[in-house]
């Protein structure tokens, strides 16, 4: 499964992104959260952007709060998975990931 995460830097308007692939749902969600957290923050820990966009297997997922320190990684994984399943079910594609 391919995935893509992007964050728009609020000051410059530049888009920062990461992408990858993983063989299963759990690994995809883990990689997406890690990448989103990484690009939502500068090296000094300051926030570049609170929300980022996620695409998994060509399916856009809701904006995700990667830059919000009050949201746990576990919560982000749950939200991304639930949003992915919801979007896929509305498009007629089976909701479970390979």
pLDDT above 90: residue 94: no
Q: Distance (Å, rounded) from C-alpha 13 to C-alpha 74?
A: 29
- pTM recorded for the entire structure: 0.86
Q: What is the pLDDT of residues 16-49, one digit of tens each?
A: 999 999 999 999 999 999 999 999 998 898 999 9
Q: How confident is the model at residue 12 (pLDDT cuts 50, 70, 90)?
A: confident
Q: Which of 22, 24, 27, 19 is nearest to 53 (CA)?
A: 19
User: What is the signed CA dihedral for 56, 60, 63, 65, rounded to 10 degrees?
Assistant: 0
Q: What is the pLDDT of residues 40-70, one digit of tens each?
A: 998 898 999 999 999 999 989 889 999 999 9
Q: Which of 53, 43, 68 is nearest to 16 (CA)?
A: 53
CB 51 within 8 A of CB 65: yes
If one counts every other C-beta atom within 10 angstroms of the C-beta of residue 33, the result is 22
Q: Which of 9, 24, 19, 5 is nearest to 62 (CA)?
A: 5
pLDDT at 90 (0 to 100): 64
Parallel, antiparallel, or unpaired: how do β-strands 15-21 and 2-8 relate? Answer: antiparallel
pLDDT at 51 (0 to 100): 94
Q: How confident is the model at residue 11 (pLDDT cuts 50, 70, 90)?
A: confident
């Amino acid at each position: 499964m391919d995935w893509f995460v992007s964050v728009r830097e609020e000051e410059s308007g530049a888009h920062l992104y990461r992408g990858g692939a993983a063989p299963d749902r759990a690994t995809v969600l883990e990689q997406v959260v890690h990448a989103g957290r990484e690009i939502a923050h500068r090296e000094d820990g300051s926030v570049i952007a609170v929300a980022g966009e996620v695409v998994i297997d060509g399916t856009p997922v809701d904006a995700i709060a990667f830059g919000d320190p009050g949201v746990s990684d576990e919560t982000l994984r749950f939200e991304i998975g639930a949003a992915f399943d919801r979007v896929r079910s509305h498009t007629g594609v089976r909701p479970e990931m390979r």
